[in-house]
Amino acid sequence: MRRLVCAALLAVLFGAPAARAALVDRVAAVVDDEVITLSEVYDMGGPFIDERCPEPGDGSCRLDIELQVLESLILRVLMRQELQKLGLDITAEEMDRTIDQIARDNDMESREQLRTEVESAGMRWDAYEDQLREQVRQMRFQEAIIRPRITVTEDEMVDLYKRIMREFERPPQATIQALTLAVPEGSGETGLVEAVAQARGIREQILGGQLTWE
């Protein structure tokens, strides 16, 4: 049975200091005896956490986002463990072929040129390889494990087709609302200009939230 222990992360992050550099590494979760540390959470999602929670003192916000990143890490571990158990995990040779293919697809002469491009973009090569490995692993998991377990019967296909066709048969509908501004009789072009200016002012107030449409 899968064992996920997240209480340690909750205890650490509720009292975590604002500066990430001051964080002491702790166990964030345990997945079938495999440990995920707090530093791994920040290695994977540090920029995302900082972007979503720019205020250093907002501990509640950081906790929510940290737990989102942790959930992604747990799913990664579970996926890798399942592939390893079935003998389907990504080998070093497969990674080499994948990297070489990416270089060719981008009109590069070698993987060294690809590495130069990756590092010039500000990303560590080992981080790029890890990210690529996870992408390949996810595709294999979907192909080897998820897709074979999905069965669609002919009756389900017919039912889906009928529901889609019913949507197309419905006439389009629209809700139209308007504000009418009167131009005083005899005011000529001046009255028209004033009405247009008033209409623009109302529009700006509605878009800016000062007025509701109602």
Q: Is this model's pTM higher than 0.75 or not?
A: no
Q: What percent of the chain shows pLDDT beyond 90?
A: 23
Mean pLDDT value across residues 22-50: 83
Please say if the pLDDT value at position 203 is more than 90.
no
Give the pLDDT confidence score for residue 24 in this predicted structure. 59
Give the pLDDT of residue 161: 84
pLDDT for res 14: 39
The closest of 137, 127, 143, 124 to 94, measured between CA atoms, is: 137
pLDDT higher than 80, residue 73: yes
CA nearest neighbour of 31 among 52, 8, 14: 8
Question: What's the CA angle centered on 141, arms 138 and 142, to 5 degrees?
Answer: 90
pLDDT-derived band at 94 (thresholds 50, 70, 90) equals very high
Q: Give pLDDT tens digits for 110-167.
A: 989 999 999 998 889 998 999 899 999 989 998 888 888 888 788 888 888 888 887 7
Among 17-31, 78-92, 191-205, name the one with the lowest average pLDDT. Answer: 17-31
Cβ burial 56-66 (10 Å sphere, 16+ → b, else e): eeebeebbebb
Residues 173-193: tens digit of each pLDDT = 778 778 888 888 887 778 888
- CB 6, CB 70: distance < 8 Å: yes
Q: Phi/psi of residue 159, each to 5°?
A: -65, -40
Distances (CA, A) of 93 to 14, 100, 139: 43, 11, 17
Number of CB atoms found within 10 A of residue 198's CB: 12
What is the rounded CA–CA span in Å between residue 173 and residue 188? 37
Please report the pLDDT score of residue 133 as a whole number: 92
Query: If you average pLDDT over every residue of the chain, what do you get?
Result: 82
